[in-house]
């Protein structure tokens, strides 16, 4: 059970600022480590946010040395534009341990090596273990850590895990049980990288720091919410995983649902991890479980994106030629609370759409009278707030103004705020934020075990009884059947 806000005072671990210790990456030679984790840690180092003594220990199954792992890291950083000279001081933080076949003896050797590094570098007994591993080896590694006591520390022992957190409610519950055999919820950091995106965090600030917005944030003022994640990429090289997952498991149950909870939650008692996660959990518990008649699934066929002709999903390498996996899904959901009763939440995501875009659109209720229509003006009186999470991160509120001169005509224009224009710099990568939070012991942006289970519960009827998959050409906005699963009067789904 998530501590209710008043219980949180008694938490066994309160947030700390950048403590010294060891950050241990399992799967250190893998794709995520190379593309995201090492670059994110480097950026945190570069901006002075890592304690200078912090060590990073790569763990993998290759028989190699610290020097070889450091050389790999130099190459990984070069790929994101960091020179070898600039990388130097960061690289000196890195060590490597070969975990072999993950036998008990291998874990004892790991423990001994971590103890040695700790002693030699005079570090406190603080360790974070990031499991960047396929689900098949996950339990074995958990047990390995637990059996040699690496799940406990005088300072902290934290566990960082990536999705998938199960494939349905039953598997998620089983996974949570296994993890809890060795680690307490206070020690566990479940990553949903969408929560690390700066614009997502700004959504809360926007709501809670601006009384005008929060006072309008309810069913009296808002008549629909739309959360869209479109991607132009296809399944790429991940068919082995994706063909068993599909858009609902890959994107909706986690990323889109997390966005929904942040939009829909009540004002938390404080800006603390417990208070925020408690409110998010309450939203999940209030969602009416979704049924087949409130969902459209699609699968891309061959088409053109920009200038590029691309093949259909079933022709992709590694995909079953008769696959029934959805690469697109649109849902209509209801959050049955005092605040949101009757307001539809449209969730839509798909691969091989015309472009990449992540956006939350809030449509406010129309003015009670279409005042200017009687004067022959076309008038769409619903104001729409768009929160763009990527690309061109920013906020815009669309409303009507008068076009200069006569006859009287109206035009829809945005009040806009764009991060890059305003701050003259890019936003940090989500992993920079999240890894720093792990090191600092702040669980606010991580998913609680109960959130995982509740979000699987919401989609259980759909997983048991999925609607048929409808084809849509790559480069389109999904099947025509899904058109009614969007805010209709505006073309938000298709506009920037």
* Smallest distance from ligand BG6 to CB 62, Å: 25
Q: How far is the CB of 431 from ligand BG6 (least distance, A)?
A: 10
- Of 191 and 335, which has the nearer Cβ to ligand BG6? 191
Size of the site for ligand BG6 (CB under 6 A): 4
Exactly one of 45, 95, 193, 255 is catalytic; name it.
Answer: 255
Nearer to ligand BG6 by Cβ, of 193 and 386: the residue is 193
Shortest Cβ 168–ligand BG6 spacing (Å):
17
The answer to whether 181 and 188 are in contact (CB under 8 A) is: no
**Closest-approach residue to ligand BG6 (CB):** 250
| Residue 243 in contact with ligand BG6, rule: CB under 6 A | no
Site string for ligand BG6, 3-42 (x = CB under 6 A): ----------------------------------------
* Per-residue mark of binding to ligand BG6, 43-82 (x: CB under 6 A): ----------------------------------------
Q: Closest approach of Cβ 164 to ligand BG6, in Å?
A: 9
Asked if residue 250 binds ligand BG6 (CB under 6 A), the reply is yes
d(CA 478, CA 329): 8
Q: Is 51 a catalytic residue?
A: no
What string marks each residue from 344 to 363 as x (binds ligand BG6 by CB under 6 A) or -?
Answer: --------------x-----
* Cβ closest to ligand BG6, residue 102 vs residue 257: 257
Binding residues among 165-204 for ligand BG6 as defined by CB under 6 A: 193
Q: How far apart are CB 250 and ligand BG6 at their closest, in Å?
A: 5
Q: How far is the CB of 193 from ligand BG6 (least distance, A)?
A: 6
| 34/111 with CB nearer ligand BG6 | 34
Q: Which is nearer to ligand BG6, 193 or 448 (CB)?
A: 193
- Per-residue H/E/C for the chain: CCCCCCHHHHCCCCCCCCCCCEEEEECCCCHHHHHHHHHHHHHHHHCCCCCCCCEEEEEECCCCCHHHHHHHHHHHHHCCCCCHHHHHHHHCCEEEEECCCCCHHHHHHHHHHHHHHHHHCCCCCCEEEEECCCHHHHHHHHHHHHHCCCCCCCCCEEEEEECCCCCCHHHHHHHHHHHHHHCCHHHEEEECHHHHCHHHHHHHHHHHHCHHHHHHCCCCCEEEEEEEEECCCCCCCCHHHHHHHHHHHHHHHHHHHHHHHHHHCCCCCCCCHHHHHHHHHHHHHHECCCCHHHEEEEEEECEEECCEEECCHHHCCCCCCCCCCCCEEEEEEEECCCCCCCCEEEEEEECCCCCCEEEEEEEECCCCCCCCHHHCCCCCCCCEEEEEEECCCEEEEEEEEECCCCCCCEEEEEEEEEHHHHHCCCCCCHHHHHHHHHHHCCCCCCCCHHHHHHHHHHHHHHHHCCCCEEEEECCCCCCHHHHHHCCCCCCCCCCC
Which listed residue (3, 118, 231, 453) binds ligand BG6 by CB under 6 A?
231
Instruction: Give the footprint of ligand BG6 on residues 416-445 (CB under 6 A).
Output: none
Is 274 near ligand BG6 (CB under 6 A)? no
Closer of 93 and 386 to ligand BG6 (Cβ): 386
| Closer Cβ to ligand BG6, 127 or 386, answer by number | 386
Q: Min. distance of Cβ 234 from ligand BG6 in angstroms?
A: 10
Binding site for ligand BG6 (CB under 6 A): 193, 231, 250, 358
Q: Which residues are catalytic?
A: 255
């Amino acid at each position: 059970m998530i501590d209710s806000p008043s219980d949180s005072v008694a938490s066994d671990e309160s947030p700390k600022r950048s403590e010294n210790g060891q950050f241990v990456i399992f799967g250190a030679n893998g794709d995520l480590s190379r593309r995201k984790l090492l670059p994110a840690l480097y950026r945190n180092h570069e901006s002075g946010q890592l304690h200078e003594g912090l060590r990073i220990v790569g763990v993998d199954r290759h028989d190699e040395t610290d020097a070889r792992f450091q050389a790999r890291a130099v190459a990984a950083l070069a790929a994101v534009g960091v020179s070898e000279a600039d990388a130097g001081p960061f690289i000196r933080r890195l060590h490597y341990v070969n975990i072999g076949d993950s036998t008990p003896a291998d874990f004892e050797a790991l423990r001994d090596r971590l103890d040695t590094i700790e002693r030699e570098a005079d570090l406190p007994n603080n360790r974070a273990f990031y499991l960047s591993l396929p689900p098949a080896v996950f339990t074995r590694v958990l047990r390995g850590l637990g059996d040699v006591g690496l799940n406990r520390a005088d300072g902290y022992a934290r566990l960082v895990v990536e999705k998938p957190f199960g494939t349905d409610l039953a598997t998620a519950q089983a996974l949570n049980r296994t993890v809890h055999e060795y680690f307490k919820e206070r020690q566990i950091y479940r990553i949903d990288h969408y929560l690390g995106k700066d614009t997502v965090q700004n959504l809360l600030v926007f709501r809670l720091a601006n009384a005008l917005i929060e006072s309008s944030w309810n069913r009296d003022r808002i008549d629909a919410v739309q959360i869209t994640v479109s991607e132009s990429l296809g399944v790429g090289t991940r068919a082995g995983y994706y063909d068993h997952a599909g858009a609902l498991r890959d994107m909706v149950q986690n990323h889109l649902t997390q966005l929904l909870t942040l939009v829909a939650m009540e004002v938390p008692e404080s800006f603390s991890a417990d208070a925020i996660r408690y409110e998010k959990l309450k939203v999940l518990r209030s969602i009416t479980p979704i049924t087949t008649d409130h969902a459209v699934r699609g699968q891309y066929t061959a088409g053109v994106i920009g200038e590029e002709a691309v093949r259909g999903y079933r022709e992709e390498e590694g995909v079953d030629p008769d696959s029934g996996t959805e690469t697109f899904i649109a849902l209509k959901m209801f959050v049955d609370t005092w605040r949101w009763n009757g307001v539809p939440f449209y969730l839509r995501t798909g691969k091989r759409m015309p472009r990449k875009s992540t956006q939350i659109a809030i449509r406010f209720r129309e003015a009670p009278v279409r005042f200017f229509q009687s004067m022959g003006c076309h008038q769409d009186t619903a104001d729409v707030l768009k929160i763009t999470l990527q690309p061109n991160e920013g906020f815009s509120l669309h409303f009507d103004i008068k076009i200069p001169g006569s006859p009287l005509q109206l035009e829809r224009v945005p009040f806009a705020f764009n991060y890059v224009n305003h701050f003259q710099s890019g936003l940090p990568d989500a992993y920079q934020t999240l890894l720093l939070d792990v090191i600092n012991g702040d669980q606010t942006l991580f998913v609680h075990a109960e959130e995982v289970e509740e979000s699987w519960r919401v989609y259980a009827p759909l997983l048991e009884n999925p609607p048929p998959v409808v084809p849509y050409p790559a480069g389109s906005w999904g099947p025509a059947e899904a058109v009614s699963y969007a805010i209709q009067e505006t073309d938000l789904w298709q506009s920037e």
